[in-house]
Amino acid sequence: MLFMFQLTLKSIKNRKFTAILTTLTIALSVCLLIGVQKIRYEAKNSFTNTISGTDLIVGARSGSIQLLLYSVFRIGNATNNLSWESYLDIQQNRKVKWAVPLSLGDSHKGFRVLGTRATYFEHYLYQGDKALEFTQGKPFKGVFDAVIGAEVAKKLGYQLQDNIVISHGAGEISFSKHDNMPFTVTGILKKTGTPVDQTIHVSLSAIEAIHVGWESGASPRHKISAEQALKQDLAPKTITAVMLGLHRKHSIFSVMRSVNEYPEEPLLAIMPGIALQELWQLVGVAEQALLVISGFVVLTGLMGMLTVILSSLNERRREMAILRSVGARPWQIATLLVSEAFIFTLLGILFGIGLLYGLLWILQPWMFDQFGLYMPMTFMHSDALWVLLSILCMGLVIGLIPGYRAYKTTLTDGLTIKV
């Protein structure tokens, strides 16, 4: 048996060119399959960990995914706001450890502006326990200070002390600008791969200040200056959402209930982790399709191998007859072909893994930079190992086909072949 295996290796070495091509076909398809799997896994992982450490997100009553989309991903708009009084009530709940208000609605050159408190930078966690970090500067202190995400800084080329003007509304092109009150960049955040990168953070008072005189919803006839605005009462009247941290995890449901049954106005509390999972399932259909396609690519690779081995059978009839004449039994000759399929598949899988990790190593920084997708060079998770093992088994099973044909051929050919 071992000898037949060695013989197979020598025989393959003799057909280097087709052997390399066959192995490469399998390697590429395997690389694609486990690559897709890896991206799927890491994308889901990074997506569902966009926000962590926050137990609940509270907003005006709407759908949970809608609330998640605008509060975390800054996609779409809130249909309603919640009142500042409600915020204070929630904050005073004994089970609540911390509450960070979020106020959305303005933008700067397509990037959303988030009004919040400086505590946001402590409580916003992602990928489990990673906190936001500053590459330059520090959290906002003054009313017209702004902290920008890494992507904002990079795309717009902003540095500390640069001035920015906020536009009213969320559109990329806005005709009504809060140009009477420019902001100063006081902090730039490190890249996180989350929507924070695309956000401009200012204080809640700043949001109030720039909207003095805008109560009707339209641009005021006479814009007031920053100095004048500062003299006004800048306590917020409404906010968009609240991030909550609780003292104990197990009180999540009771806090959720008390928020959902809040008598003063209709509110909704969601668990961000759960909502993120739900959202992922919506977008997950495409990646499922991708996985199925790469599964078929692997199948194609194995079929290619089958074709190569089967078509080599005829030109190897002589070799098989010779082996038979020196004493090889028909089943041993079948072994020769089954182990050939096995070797091709095994090498293909190993090359495929090598190729994937080689690509990961090269593309890792670029993928994080371009897509905010961090692909750690971790060992494959058990799913991928099972997939690889089943590919190997499929290779073996496919090898049985030429093995059986060779078995039959050697029996009819005998020791000499009649050409």
Partner 1 sequence: MSNLIELSDIQFSWLPSQPPIIDIPKLTIKRGERIFISGDSGSGKSTLLSLIGGVNLPQSGSISVIDKPLHTLGNAQRDLFRADHIGFIFQIFNLIPYLSVIDNVTLPCFFSKKRKQNIQQSSLEDEAIRLLSDLRLTGDIIYKPVTQLSTGQQQRVAAARALMGKPELIIADEPTSSLDTDRRADFINLLFEECDHQDTTLLFVSHDKALESLFHHTISLADINQAATVEDF
Does 414 interact with partner 1 (rule: CB under 8 A)?
Answer: yes
Q: How far is the CB of 332 from partner 1 (least distance, A)?
A: 7
Per CB under 8 A, the segment of 163-171, 254-262, 315-323, 384-392 that binds partner 1 is 315-323
Does 203 interact with partner 1 (rule: CB under 8 A)?
Answer: no
Enclosing H/E stretch for 360? helix 330-371
DSSP 94: T
Token pair of 348 as six digits: 């293909």
User: Distance between CA 301 and CA 295 in Å, rounded?
Assistant: 10
Q: How far is the CB of 409 from partner 1 (least distance, A)?
A: 14
Does 408 interact with partner 1 (rule: CB under 8 A)?
Answer: no
The residue among 157 and 327 lying less far from partner 1, judged by its C-beta, is 327
Q: Among 138, 237, 247, 318, which residue interacts with partner 1 (rule: CB under 8 A)?
A: 318
From first CA to last CA, the distance across the chain in angstroms is 30
For 251-262, give the DSSP string: GHHHHHHHHHT-
In terms of Cα–Cα distance, which of 199, 54, 192 is closest to 133? 192
Does 1 interact with partner 1 (rule: CB under 8 A)?
Answer: no
Does 11 interact with partner 1 (rule: CB under 8 A)?
Answer: yes
Q: Among 216, 326, 370, 382, which residue interacts with partner 1 (rule: CB under 8 A)?
A: 326
Q: Please give the angle made by the CA atoms of 23, 385 and 35, to the nearest 5 degrees.
A: 65
User: How many residues in total does the chain contain?
Assistant: 419
Q: Residue 214, CB half-sphere, CA atoms under 13 Å: how many? A: 20
Size of the site for partner 1 (CB under 8 A): 19
Lookup result for tokens 């495409």: 286
User: Distance between CA 284 and CA 278 in Å, rounded?
Assistant: 10
Q: How far is the CB of 415 from partner 1 (least distance, A)?
A: 6
What residues from 236 to 265 belong to the interface with partner 1 (CB under 8 A)? none
Does 327 interact with partner 1 (rule: CB under 8 A)?
Answer: yes
Per CB under 8 A, the segment of 72-80, 147-155, 321-329, 400-408 that binds partner 1 is 321-329
> What 3-state class would DSSP assign to 60?
strand
Q: Among 42, 162, 319, 369, which residue interacts with partner 1 (rule: CB under 8 A)?
A: 319
Can you give the binding site for partner 1, defined by CB under 8 A?
3, 10-11, 13-14, 318-319, 322-323, 325-330, 332, 414-416
